[in-house]
Every structure is written in C-alpha cells, then in structure tokens.
Amino acid sequence: MAACLDNFTAKIIAERRETMAKLTKDQLSECARLSIEAEHAVRSMPQLVEKYPELTREEGYVIQKIREQMLVAKGHKVIGYKMGATSMEKRRQMGSTMPSFGRLFEYMMLEENRPLRRQDLIHPKVEPEITFVMKEDLSGPNMTSAEVMHATDYVVASLEIIDSRYHGFKFTGPDAVADNISGARFMLGSVKISPLDLDLELLGVRMSINGEDVTFGTGAAVLGHPARSVVALVNMLYNSGEKLKAGQIVMTGGITASQLIKAGDKVVAEFASLGPVTLEVID
Ligand code: OOG
Ligand code: MG
C-alpha cells in the first residue's frame, strides 16, 4: 500500500502518529479498502468507529485521501468535490455540526436522462443541490465569496444520489468523511448561468417524487449563500495541501434533507432560473 501514498498523505500520517499515535498506515489503508469494497459489492458494512472508537475527523480525511489514491490507481479520475452538511436540514439529518467535503469521480456522473439502476446502490437517497463549475484555480486559506463568484464558469441545477456504505445509513462524522461523505452518483441540469447573473440565495427549488412534492428550499439554506460552501471547501483543501482547479465541479451540499428512492421512482427537482433535473430509477 505504501507505494500508493503520496508524500503529503505520508506526512499527515507521520504527524498524526507523532501527536496521537493512533491508527497505523496499514489500518488507515484497510479502512479505505473496506469502504471501496462495500461500494463495489453493493453491501453495507459496520461503522469504522465500532472497530476504532477513537477515530478522528482528520484520520477520516486521510482515509478518504487514501481511498482516492486507490481509485485513481484503478484508473478513476477526480472531477471535483461535494460538500456535506452545509444546510441545517442536512446537518440535522446527518447529526453533524460542521461542513465536510468528499470527492467526485468520473464514474459517479449520470448523463441527463440516463436512469439510475437501483441494484447498483445499497440504499440510495436523493437531494437537490446547486453546483458550481470553475473556470479558474482557487486556493485558500483566505478565500472570499466574491473571488469564488468571479472564478466560476457557471452554476447548474443538480441532484445528488448519496449511498452511505454503512448499515442503516448511520455513521459518526469521522465515519462519513472516511466513506467519501456517502458520494455515489450525481446528475447535472443543462441550463448554465454565471453566478453573477443570479440571486443564488433567493433561488428556490422544489423536489417531487412521482408527482408528489417532497421538499422545498432556497439557496440561502446553504451557509446563507452557496458560494460560501465553495469558500469553505477551498479553505479546507488548503489545510490538506490541495487546491480547487479550473474545470472542476463543486456540489455545494443538499439544500433540503435527502429522500429514499426505489425502483420505479421519478424524481424531479425544479429550480428557479436553472430549470429541472429529472431522475428515473429503474431496477
Ligand atoms: C452524507 C451526505 C452529505 C450533503 O449534501 O450534505 C451530503 C449523508 O447524508 O449520508 O451529500
Ligand atoms: Mg449532497
């Protein structure tokens, strides 16, 4: 596994081991492997904290980074990031007090109008999000919303399909971070608008399943303004020696709580100005 770790990850692990002497490199790699295997096998697993009750959020991020390196070694590609727990409804649902981030890989992207296969996932849920696509690199630690808005190519409506790899969708903060914040699939809408031409905080969304409205919200639910979610991401990435790159996608986090979906469902998220995103779930 060591060959899979870059210098940066090795350094964090070394530092943590000096200060906390907690999980070893092999144990961290084992946690990353378990999350990947559960995803591939479409089978849920026990929380990592059952085995490692002292698991920290920082260790969760190291596991997430190792997980990324393992997927990249298999030929996958990171195409952006997804923020977690940026709205009150999501924080309440996740039992989380602070925002977190995960990574988006190319295989997670569902082309518009492509159905989601229920059997590919363990217990999928869907949530509406506003997504930024960047045209310039951004690095922390002192990011501002204005810089984010100017560095953004466009925003689009989106649906995220999350699928925790833990039994019953139950986890602690460090577990969720280690498991890539439940990232599974996502679908982007086709209307692209500069965030400078929208009142993102006032932008409303209504999500329905099989014609019945299930959740409502506005962009302001996401940290007061979705650009602040990108600010938080860029500043967190700085802490781990990374930056947001031109062309990358940032899903700013569920505006509303997520909803369980099943085969046969038709989910529509209707966003003001940005239009609808429609997801059909098949067997
Ligand atoms: C974690 C996913 C969090 C969001 O938008 O807040 C997330 C979960 O709810 O399992 O994607
Ligand atoms: Mg989400």
How far away, in angstroms, is 8 Cα from ligand 1 center? 26
- The answer, yes or no, to whether any atom of ligand 1 lies below 6 A from the CB of 148, is no
- The answer, yes or no, to whether any atom of ligand 1 lies below 6 A from the CB of 127, is yes
Nearest to 124 by CA among 263, 261, 269: 261
Can you tell me the distance from the alpha carbon of 87 to that of 49, in angstroms, rounded to the nearest whole number? 25
How far away, in angstroms, is 248 Cα from ligand 2 center? 16
pLDDT at site 6: 57
Q: Which of 181, 230, 255 to mutate to test the pocket of ligand 1 (most atoms within 8 A of CB)?
A: 181
Q: Whose CA is nearest to atom 7 of ligand 1?
A: 84
Q: Whose CA is nearest to atom 4 of ligand 1?
A: 84
DSSP state of 141: S
Q: Which atom of ligand 1 approaches the CA of 254 most closely?
A: 5
pLDDT at site 113: 83
Can you tell me the distance from the alpha carbon of 81 to that of 133, in angstroms, rounded to the nearest whole number? 10
How many C-beta neighbours within 10 Å does residue 119 have? 8
pTM of the entire structure?
0.92
Cβ pair 268, 102 in contact under 8 A: no
Nearest to 208 by CA among 273, 124, 281, 265: 265
Q: Which two tokens stand for residue 103?
A: 């990574």
Q: Which of 182, 185, 215 to mutate to test the pocket of ligand 1 (most atoms within 8 A of CB)?
A: 182
How far away, in angstroms, is 147 Cα from ligand 2 center? 23
- The phi, psi pair for 92, rounded to 5°, reads -65, -45
Show pLDDT as tens, one digit a residue, over the chain (283 residues).
444 455 555 655 555 544 455 999 999 999 999 999 999 999 999 999 999 999 999 999 999 999 999 999 999 999 999 999 999 999 999 999 999 999 999 999 999 889 999 999 999 999 999 999 999 999 999 999 999 999 999 999 999 999 999 999 999 999 999 999 999 999 999 999 999 999 999 999 999 999 999 999 999 999 999 999 999 999 999 998 999 999 999 999 999 999 999 999 999 999 999 999 999 999 9
* End-to-end CA gap in the chain: 36
- The answer, yes or no, to whether any atom of ligand 1 lies below 6 A from the CB of 84, is yes
Cβ pair 254, 260 in contact under 8 A: no
- Class of residue 113 by CB neighbours under 10 A (exposed 0-12, middle 13-18, buried 19+): exposed
Q: Which two tokens stand for residue 129?
A: 């999000």
Angle between helices 7-19 and 57-73 (to 10 degrees): 150
How far away, in angstroms, is 87 Cα from ligand 2 center? 10
- The answer, yes or no, to whether any atom of ligand 1 lies below 6 A from the CB of 164, is yes
Q: Whose CA is nearest to atom 10 of ligand 1?
A: 182
pLDDT at site 197: 98
Element (H, E) at 275: strand 275-282
Residue 183: strand pairing partners? 162
How many C-beta neighbours within 10 Å does residue 162 have? 26
